[in-house]
Every structure is written in C-alpha cells, then in structure tokens.
Amino acid sequence: MYHLFEKYGIELEYMIVDRADERVCPVTDRVIKSASGSIQNEICNGDISWSNELVLHVIELKTTSPVPTVAGIDKSFQSNVNQINNLLEKFNARLMPGPMHPFMDPVREMRLWPHDYNPIYEAFDRIFSCKGHGWANLQSMHINLPFANDEEFGRLHAAIRMILPIIPALSAASPIADGLLTGYMDTRMDVYRKNSSKIPSITGSVIPEPVYSPAQYQEKILNKIYRDLAPFDPEGILQEEWVNARGAIARFERNTIEIRVIDVQEAPVADISIAALIIEAVRMMVEERVCSYQEQKKWETEPLAVIFSDTVKSAEHTWITDEKYLKCFGIHEKTCQALHIWNHLFTMMQNSELVSKYSQNLRTILDEGTLASRILRALGETQNHPKIREVYRKLSSCLQEGVLFTR
C-alpha cells in the first residue's frame, strides 16, 4: 500500500498490423509464445510485462511493479516495443501506435482472445457485442495513482475528476475511423463512452460521480453496476470492479485510481511526457495550490461531463466558457481555449523535476497540437486510403524509432 504520488503504474496498448497492407494482424498469442515458449496471459520481461487484451491484434505493455517515478520509464517501454517488433518480423507484422486503427472493419476483423480469460471476453461479447470500434478498436494509456487510506482516496478522486475533462485536449489522437475523418479529434473516447449503452451505469457519464470515500464509491457506483448487470450475467463472471468503465476507476484490490481517458500516442516518450504533465496537474489539485479540496468536492458530474464532451470533439481547440471551472486552475478569464489551460499548467509546473525532464516534448505537443491535429495536418487535402496508410506508416516508424511525429 502506497501513499499519494509514492508509486506509479503505466500501461500502454498497441495494435499489431501486417507490414504489407497495415491491416490488423491477430497474432498476439503467437508473439507471446515466441517470447516465452508457451501461450500465456502475461509474461514478465524485467521492469515491463506483456499481456493480452480483449482482442488478438492488441498487446499491452505495463510496468511489472509500481515505479517510484515515471521519469525514464519511456526507455524501458521503448526497448520492449523494439523487442516485440523484432519478434513480429517472422509474421511479417509490426506494432502500430495510436488509439484507433484508421480503417479496421471490426465486424469482419475482430477476433477475441481465445485462451485463458476467454469466458470473460465471451461474456462481454454476448452482452454487448464486441464487433464494434468501442470494443475491438481502441488503444489507450492508463495511469495508476495510489492512495493509502480513505482520506487520500477522497483527495485523489476529487483531483482526478477536475483534470479528466481537459485530458483529450492534450492527448486526442484518433480523428479517423473506417477510413474517414469522423469529426471528432478523440473518436476513441466517443465510441468508448457508448460501448456499454445497453447497461448505462457501467460507463455513466465517463466523468465519475462525486463520491469521496471507498464505502460511498462501493455503494453508489460499483453496487449499482453489479445490480444492473446481474440479469445479463447470471453466472457473475463480470461482477468485478474492473467492469466499471468510467474515465477513472477505483481499483481497491490494489489501492489505486486508474485514469483511462488518455489516447496512446506515437511513441512511449510522447506517452510518458503527457503522463508527466497529467500527474503533476493532479498533484497540484491534491495539494490545493489553486483550488481547495472542499471546492473540488462541490463539482457535480454534469458540468464536468459537458466540458469533457466538448474536448472529445475539438481537443485543444475547445472553447471553455465555464468561468468557475477556469478559476479552479487560476485562470481569471471568462472564456479560453483548452490549449490555454494546458499551457498555463505547463508554465506553472515546468520547474518540477518530472515535467522539466520532458519539457521539450511537451513544448512540441503544445506548440504543434495534439497528435490528432498533427495527423490531420499531415493528411492535408488528400484524405484517401493511400494517404492515410502513408501517414500511419510514418507513425509506425515513429514508434520504432522512439520519436515524436512532427511537421
């Protein structure tokens, strides 16, 4: 059990695609077998572990144990990316970064993980049908932040709720699906928030409800999910805290809150740069530097969800008109773009050891825009299939080389 900001856990998900045509390649089990000698759900490779996900074309990399800082962990992730790409050569495949495959047909191409944990995935498929983008085509970064007691849980949950609405303005990276521009900068989050609509309590409004103790969380969020899910899940296969699909979920089994609304980027160094700024923004709220804990607790879900919905659509270009929200960040203006908030936070935190380590990358992201904006800029006026393939090939090269995608 760790105190606030004492340890961290990071998870990155990547899709596997064919080197020749960029179509999804369902070989995660074969990759794991090549690395370990047998098909397993998870293998440890030093400080990074590899594991399966719901579908066979996605592999997850995660910190094997909680780390005392995320500074430098991008190098370990990068090393593992390169190891997996080496293994994938025999399958004529490679990892492709980004939160959504730009032209995957999930109805035709989705294949569930068929090994251990398959009953869980089959249950999800039976209840919700996983043959859609909201299940089969979305890759993210998760940040796990610890709490040691009820007081720390409340402060952490309050702080994360305040930061969640503007995260897509920093991390949106999914402007394309089905080979077309969707009109959303963060299409992954748009489809994610709809994937459990059959049982609305599972996702809620993505922004969690204002609950500030584990007991309150259990009663108002988890127990309601379990009750609503029970008629569809008579065997109780999904009656676990991980079925909760809010944008940040409490993981009481390991005393963390897991932030889940961050699109995976073009290379681990970009992911960890973004993680650094988000972590420090949450820390700022926890430490009440510009907004008291009591003030944070007063925020209902709806106004935060409205801002979040706007940033899912427009990312850094979103105009935020809630003066009360802006004041929580020390911004005394009637309205400003979401990019201005992140520039403001970056300026406040650039002397922190963690943010300063990634300041050059963060400056690039803030100056050149989210990865979604950079992808759209690279496409230009030509938005056909060959051009999309060309751009995503470049993204795959960025992943292999460990560099940002820039103009």
Residue 201: the pLDDT is 97
- HSE (CB half, 13 Å, CA atoms) of 241? 16
The model's pLDDT over 351-375, given as tens digits with 9 standing for 90+, comes to 899 999 999 999 999 999 999 999 9
| HSE toward the beta carbon, residue 51, CA cutoff 13 A | 14
Bridge partners (DSSP) listed for residue 336: 320
For the entire predicted model, the pTM comes to: 0.97
Q: Does residue 407 register a pLDDT over 80?
A: no
What would the mean pLDDT of 296-310 be, rounded to a whole number? 98
Rounded to whole angstroms, the Cα distance separating 277 from 170 reads: 9
Q: Which residues contact 271 (CB under 8 A, 6 or more apart)?
A: 10, 12, 74, 77, 141, 262, 264, 265
Q: Quote the crossing angle between the two packed helices 73-88 and 268-286, to the nearest 10°.
A: 150
Q: Is the pLDDT of residue 45 over 90?
A: yes
Q: Residue 265's pLDDT is what? A: 98
Token digits of residue 121 = 């995935």
CA–CA separation, 319 vs 150, rounded Å? 35
Residue 2: is its pLDDT beyond 80? Answer: yes
The HSE-up count of residue 158 (CA atoms within 13 Å, CB side) is: 23
Which of 141, 164, 70, 80 lies closest to 358, judged by CA?
Answer: 70
What angle (nearest 5°) sits at the alpha carbon of residue 345, between those of residues 339 and 346?
90
Q: What is the pLDDT, as a whole number, of residue 383?
A: 86
Within a 10 A sphere around the Cβ of 401, how many other Cβ atoms? 12
**Which of 170, 186, 187 lies closest to 178 in space, CA to CA?**
187
Domains of the chain: 9-399 (3.30.590.20)
The residue among 150, 245, 153, 263 whose CA lies nearest residue 207 is 245
pLDDT at 1 over 90: no
Question: What is the per-residue pLDDT for 116?
Answer: 87
